[in-house]
Amino acid sequence: MKRWYLIALLIVAASDAALYWRTQSQQADIPAAAIPKPIAVIARTSSIDVAKPAGSGSAGAGAPGTGKAGSTPAEPFAEAMTASRLLAEPDPLQRTQRQENAVVLLRSAVRSRDPRVLFIVGNAELLLAPPDKYSRVMAYAWWLVACERGLDCASGSAYAATICGNDVRCAAAHGPRERLQAAAGRNWSSVRKRAAAMSARLDAGKWSELGIGGP
């Protein structure tokens, strides 16, 4: 059976590193200037089965927010971050293979139900497909689920900045849900319905129905 081995050594930009450490600890907000460039975020080596992603036990394995059985809290985050780097690679050579590997990693990481991972999946949706209505709805839906499951999407957070970009009306919104509604505009109804379905499937462990990597 084919296996793909990941050494989860991530070289991330200073801003990403600061965001990572902020979400890891509420006691210290490490400024980007205090973090070396680049910084290596190291997670333990994990073995991911391409035909059957890691953690594919019983449908409901793992309580929400507790991570996959047998994994460290950092492992799913490392998988998701590695997938992001694969998708962001500008070299067109082997792009299809990189996308396939990224989808495998995201489908594995999402089983942790970690809100940070869910947000990264939303980012990935914009890179896995052309920026059309479907990919935007999927991205906003994942972001909404992540925010509703405890991610700090408050005004001024790095996550809020990702959601709003340069949209002043979005940035001025009262809360995460209102902020996403402003960003989604006419697609809000679709986003809300998709997010509700995603959340129910996450709780039920219906991983194959989450739509990561395509409709």
Domain boundaries, the chain: 3-209
Owner of token pair 């994990």:
46
Owner of token pair 């492992």:
75
Least-confidence region, from 83-92, 99-108, 176-185? 83-92
pTM score, whole prediction: 0.68
**Mean pLDDT in residue range 203-207:** 96
Between 31 and 202, residue with greater pLDDT:
202
Measured CA to CA, the distance from residue 203 to residue 65 in angstroms comes to: 10
Name the percent of the chain lying above pLDDT 90: 46
Please, is 86 exposed, middle or buried when counting C-beta atoms within 10 Å of its C-beta (0-12, 13-18, 19+)?
Answer: buried
Between 47 and 193, residue with greater pLDDT:
193
Query: What proportions of the chain, in percent to the nearest 5, are helix, strand and coil?
Result: 55, 5, 35
* Residues 140/122, Cβ–Cβ less than 8 Å: yes
* pLDDT for residue 92: 76
3-state DSSP assignment of residue 77: helix
Identify which of 128, 141, 129 has the alpha carbon closest to the alpha carbon of residue 180. Answer: 141
Measured CA to CA, the distance from residue 81 to residue 8 in angstroms comes to: 9
* pLDDT for residue 95: 85
* Residues 150/23, Cβ–Cβ less than 8 Å: no
**Mean pLDDT in residue range 112-117:** 96
Sign of the dihedral defined by the CA atoms of residues 18, 21, 23, 26, in that order: negative
3-state DSSP assignment of residue 129: coil
* pLDDT for residue 121: 96
Measured CA to CA, the distance from residue 32 to residue 16 in angstroms comes to: 9
